[in-house]
Amino acid sequence: MQARKLFITSAVLLMVGLASFWSKWNGSAGVNAGDSIAAWAVNFCGSVNGWPALMGVIAIIAAVLVFLWAVISAAVGFPNA
């Protein structure tokens, strides 16, 4: 399979995983900004229950595996002559 298609598949799987988490998110998220880099913070506090949690975890793991497959495929692939 072409590396370009694998990268697109990886991005779609990642979006599906994140969307399933956000669909049933119970909690809050926030960003705090400061004058220096050390003062910046990102906070996520919440939970996801049921099938969206399972689907999100599986989709994100699949996205990481497909991304690694795409990187390896692009590294060892032959250029089109």
Structural domain of residue 14, as residue ranges? 3-76
Q: Kindly state whether residue 81 falls inside one of the protein's structural domains.
A: no
Distance between CA atoms of residues 79 and 81, nearest Å: 6
Q: Which pLDDT score is estimated for 81?
A: 40
- The pTM for the full model equals 0.77
Q: Kindly state whether residue 63 falls inside one of the protein's structural domains.
A: yes
Q: Kindly state whether residue 67 falls inside one of the protein's structural domains.
A: yes
Structure token pair of residue 44: 């996520």
Q: Which pLDDT score is estimated for 33?
A: 85
Q: Which pLDDT score is estimated for 37?
A: 81
Q: Kindly state whether residue 46 falls inside one of the protein's structural domains.
A: yes
Q: Which pLDDT score is estimated for 80?
A: 58
Main-chain dihedrals φ then ψ at residue 77, nearest 5 degrees: -70, 155
Number of structural domains the chain divides into: 1
Please identify every stretch of the chain with a pLDDT value under 50, giving residue numbers as ranges: 81
Contact 66, 6 (CB under 8 A): yes
Q: Which helix (H) or strand (E) holds 44?
A: strand 41-47
Distance between CA atoms of residues 24 and 44, nearest Å: 14
